[in-house]
Amino acid sequence: MKTLPLRILTFIGLLSIVIACSKDEVDPISPGDKNNVTLEFDNRVGSQKLALASTSYQNASGENFTVTTLNYFISNVSLKKADGTSQSFPTQYFLVRQADSNTLTPILKDVPAADYTAITFTIGVDSLKSASAVEERTGVLDIASYGDDNMYWSWNSGYIFFKLEGISSAAPANSAGLNKYQYHVGGYGGRTVGAPTTNNLRTVTLPLNGTATVRKSIAPTIHIIADVAKVFTGASNLKIASGAVIMSPTAAIPIANNYKSMFTVDHVHND
Amino acid sequence: MRKKYLLVLLLIGILVGACTEKASNEPVVFQKPSNFPTPVYNFDKNPITTEGFALGKALFNDPILSRDNSISCAECHNQNYAFTHHGHDLSHGIENRKGTRNSLPIQNLAWQKEFFWDGGVGDVDFVPLAPIENPLEMDEQIGKVLEKLRKTQYYPAQFKKAYGSSDITTQGFLKALSQYMLSLVSANAKYDQYLRKEATLTPDESAGLTLFNAKCAACHTGILFTDQSYRNNGLVIQDGGDDVGRGRITEKKEDYYKFKVPSLRNVEVTKPYMHDGRFYTLEAVLDHYVTGVQQTPNLDPLLQQNVSLGIPLTATEKKQLVAFLKTLTDTQFLQDKRF
C-alpha cells in the first residue's frame, strides 16, 4: 500500500523527463532575455593543431614555417537571426592571442535571446575606433596593454590588426641570426578624408553550421576554426622567400586578402 | 557677538573654498593669443588644470620615460632652443643611439593638425608614444613606463592631484603630457609686438617682411608660419633616399620626399634645419633655396616658377630675410619660468 504511490510518482517523473527530452523545443523567449555567446577561436594549421614554436608546418608554396606569434583583433561582431534581421555589437572588441589561452574564447556579452544562423565580424579595429580619442581606448584597445607583443604602431598611428611570426628556412637570417618571417598587417584607411591610404580591414560572414539558440538559460558557444595555412594561400600564394618581413599596409594587402578566408564555423554548442 | 563671529568665519571658509576650487580648475597656462585662429585641439576632452600641467611638466622632464631611465623628453626638446635639440642634426636616444630625424620644436601644438615631419600622428595625445617606443630614441614600452610610474612615491600622488584618483592610466599619462605641451604657446615675438603696434621693425626687418610675404609665405603661411602641408623643397637626396618622408605614411609615390612645412617661429634658435638637420645656419637654408634646389621626384611646383629652380634672392635680400626671421624669436617663451 505504501509503495504504490511512490512507484506511480516515479513513473510520472520519468515519463515527464522523457517527454521533455523528446520535445525538441528550447525555452520560450521573454522580452529582455539575454545571455553570453562564447566565440571559441580554434587556431589550426591545415589539419594539425597549432602548437607555438615547436612544430614545423608547410605552406602552399612548399616552404616550412613555425608559428611563434599569432594575434588578431576581432571587432564589429554581428549575428544574423533566423528571421533575416541582424543584431550588432559595435562596442565589443577582442584580441585573440595564441600565446594566452584566456584570449581564445572571448565572450560576446548581452546577446538578446533569439535563434542565430550566421556571424559577421571584422578582422582588425574598425576605422572609427582606430582614429578615436585616447579615452575611448580601453580594454584590449589600451595601447599600453600589449607588453613585448606590441599591437600598435606609434609612428604611424594605428593598430596592428593581424600578426603572424615564426621561423622558416625560406626567410633570410636577420641581424640576430634568426630565419624569422614577420607579417604585421594594419592600415585602416588613414585620417584624411578624400585621400585614403591602404585599408586592410576585412569583414567576414560565416554561416553557423547550425543555429545558436540564445536563451535566458542557454549561452551558446560558436566554435570557429582559423586555419593559419590559409594566410599563405587563397587569393594568392605567398612565399616567405619573396617577402619575409612585411609590415607596411600596402605590402600586406595580399596577406589580408588571404586571411579573410581562414575562418569557418565548425559547429555551435547550445549549453 | 559669538554668532556674528561664526558667521564671518563661515564666510571666509566659503570664500577660501571658492578660490581654491577656481585656482585648480582654470586653464592657468594655456591662453589663445587674440591674433591666433581657433585651436584644432579639443580642450573639452582634456581641460588644462594647474595640477595636470604640473604633472605633464614633471613627466616631460623625467628620464623614467626611457628604457634605461637615462633621457627625458626635454633632452631633445630644450626650452632655450624652442624645445629642440640644439646643435644636433639628428635627435639622440638612449645608449647614444642616433635617430633619423631632426627634433621639431614643441610650440603652438594646439593649432597643429598632424605631427612629426611626416604627419604620422594626428592627435597630440598620441605624440609621446612615438619617441617613447622608437628604438633609436627612448626605446621603452608605454606599458612599462606606466608600471615604473606606479612604483614611485611621487607619481600616484600627482595623478591624484590632477585627476582625483591615484590610478596611473594610459589616458591620464598621455593627457597630462598634452596639457604641458599644449601650454607651450609662442606668440610674443618682436613680430607679434609689431602686429600689435607695440614695436617697430628696422628697415632691414621691414624689407625682409615684404620679401617674406612675396617669396616664402605661400608655404610658411599666416600667423603660424606654416600651411601644415607636406612638400618636397628640392633637397639633395642623401643616404640612398631611404627617408621618403610623407610617402612612408601614405605609401603613395606622389608623397615621396615630401616633409611637413615647419613653422618658422623661433627659427633663429632651432638650428640645425630641415628634417635631417643638414643646414647649420639660416644663411645655408636661404642658399639652398637660391642655388641648391634639385629636380627630385615631386619637387614642389612653387620652386619651379622661375628660370632656374628655387627662389631668386640677392645677397642683400638674403640679409633682409634673415633679419626678418629673427623677429620671430620669442624671448619670453624661451625663458618663461613656468615652462
Q: Please, what is the average pLDDT of chain B?
A: 91
Q: How many domains is chain B partitioned into structurally? A: 2
Residues in chain B: 339
Q: Which residues of B touch A147 (CB under 8 A)?
A: 141, 143-144
Kindly determine whether residue A197 and residue B143, on different chains, have CB atoms separated by under 8 Å.
no
**Residue B4 domain-assigned?**
no
Q: Which three cell numbers stand for residue B185?
A: 604657446
Same domain, B224 and B111: no
Instruction: Report the percentage of chain B scoring pLDDT > 70.
Output: 92
* pLDDT given at position B15: 45
| B321 and B207 housed in the same domain | yes
pLDDT tens-digit map of A1-51: 445 555 655 555 554 444 444 445 677 899 999 999 999 999 999 999 999
Domain that residue A223 falls in: 29-269
Pick from A34, A58, A49: nearest CA to A111 = A34
Count the domains in chain A: 1
Please state the rounded mean pLDDT for residues B312-337: 97
Of all residues in chain A, the one with the smallest CA distance to B175 is: A134
Over 50: is that where the pLDDT of B21 sits?
Answer: no
Contact criterion met (CB < 8 Å) for B142 and A144 = yes
Mean pLDDT, residues B105-132 taken together? 97
B186-240 pLDDT per residue, tens: 999 999 999 999 999 999 999 999 999 999 999 999 999 999 999 999 999 998 8
B199 plus B226 within the same structural domain: yes
Integer angstrom CA distances of residue A236 from A261, B110, B112: 12, 46, 42
- Same domain, yes or no, for B63 and B206? no
3-state SS class at B104? coil
Q: Taking CB atoms and an 8 Å cutoff, what residues of chain A touch B248? A: 156
CB A255 within 8 A of CB A185: yes
**Distant-in-sequence, close-in-space partners of A253: CB < 8 Å, separation ≥ 6:** A198, A200
Residues B170 and B235 in one domain: no
Q: What is the pLDDT of residues A183-211, one digit of tens each?
A: 999 999 998 888 899 999 999 999 998 99
Q: Determine the Cα–Cα distance for residues B336 and B57; give it in Å rounded to an integer.
A: 13
Please indicate whether, in this complex, the C-beta atoms of B146 and A144 are within 8 angstroms of each other.
Answer: yes
Contact A77, A45 (CB under 8 A): no
Quick check: A59 and A229 in contact, CB under 8 A? yes
Is B7 inside any structural domain?
no
pLDDT in tens, B238-255: 988 899 999 999 999 999
Q: Which residue in the set B45, B144, B251 is minimally distant from A248, CB to CB?
A: B251
Interface of A with B in 233-252 (CB under 8 A): 248-250
Query: Could you tell me if residue A67 is inside a domain?
Result: yes
Considering the domain boundaries, does residue A180 fall inside one?
Answer: yes
* Same-domain check for residues B166 and B51: yes
Q: Is residue A2 part of a domain?
A: no
Residue B5 banded pLDDT, cuts 50, 70, 90: low
B9 membership: H or E segment, kind and range: helix B2-25
Residue A80 has pLDDT above 90, yes or no: yes
> Across the interface, do B251 and A135 touch by the CB < 8 Å criterion?
no
pTM score, whole prediction: 0.88
Helices B50-60 and B154-163 cross at an angle (nearest 10°) of 150
Residues B196 and B133 in one domain: no
pLDDT tens string B87-101: 888 878 888 888 889
The per-residue pLDDT for range A204-232, each reduced to its tens digit, is 999 998 999 999 999 999 999 999 999 99
Whether B3 is in a domain gets the answer no
Query: Considering B117, B149, B182, which residue would you say is the last residue of a domain?
Result: B182
Q: Are residues B197 and B229 in the same domain?
A: yes
Please say which residue of B182, B203, B233 terminates a domain.
B182
Q: Can you give the residue range of the structural domain that contains B305? A: 190-335
In a domain, A5, yes or no: no
Q: Which of B132, B166, B182 is the last residue of a domain?
A: B182
Chain A: give the shortest CA distance to residue B141, in Å.
7
CB spacing of B129 vs A143 below 8 angstroms: yes
Angle made by CA atoms A48, A53, A56, in degrees to the nearest 5: 50
Residues of A within 8 A of B174 (CB-CB) are 134
d(CA B174, CA B115): 15
**pLDDT score, position A8:** 59
Put simply, the answer to whether B121 touches A155 (Cβ < 8 Å) is yes
Indicate whether B110 and B225 sit together in one domain.
Answer: no
Closest C-alpha to A129, from A80, A206, A74? A74
Here the cell at position B315 is 645677397
Same-domain pairing of B115 and B239 = no
ipTM above 0.90, yes or no: no
pLDDT for res A195: 87
Residue A12 lies in a domain: no
Q: B203-215 and B315-326 helices cross at what angle (nearest 10)?
A: 100
With a cut of 90, say whether residue B20 has pLDDT above it: no
> Checking DSSP bridges between strand A245-246 and strand A180-186, what pairing results, if any?
parallel
Q: What is the pLDDT of residue B248?
A: 95
Whether B14 is covered by a domain: the verdict is: no
* Partner residue opposite B170 with nearest CB, options A142, A154, A249: A142
The CATH number covering residue B146 comes to 1.10.760.10
| Pair type for strands A86-89 and A69-81 | antiparallel
Q: Give which of B242, B219, B251, B214 is closest to B232, Cα–Cα.
A: B219
**Assigned domain for A218 exists:** yes
In a domain, A15, yes or no: no
In single-letter form, the type of residue at position A217 comes to S
Contact B122 A198 (CB under 8 A): no
Q: What is the pLDDT of residues A124-169, one digit of tens each?
A: 999 999 999 999 999 999 999 999 999 999 999 999 999 999 999 9
**Residue A195: CB partners within 8 Å, gap ≥ 6?**
B250
Are B123 and A157 within 8 A, CB to CB?
Answer: yes
pLDDT value, residue B239: 85
Assess whether B269 and B137 both reside in one domain: no
Distance CA A182, CA A171 (A): 10
Nearest-angstrom CA–CA distance, B210 and B35: 20
Selected residues 119-178 of chain B with any CB under 8 Å from a CB in chain A: 120-123, 125-126, 129-130, 132-134, 141-146, 170-171, 173-175
> Nearest residue of A to residue B249 by CA position?
A156
Tell me which chain A residue has its CA closest to the CA of residue B246.
A156
Closest C-alpha among B235, B225, B234 to residue B262:
B225
| A16 within domain boundaries | no
The pLDDT of B276-294, averaged and rounded, is 97
pLDDT > 90? residue B10: no
What number of other Cβ atoms are within 10 A of residue A12's Cβ? 10
B154/B233 same-domain check: no
Closest C-alpha among B224, B221, B197, B175 to residue B52: B175
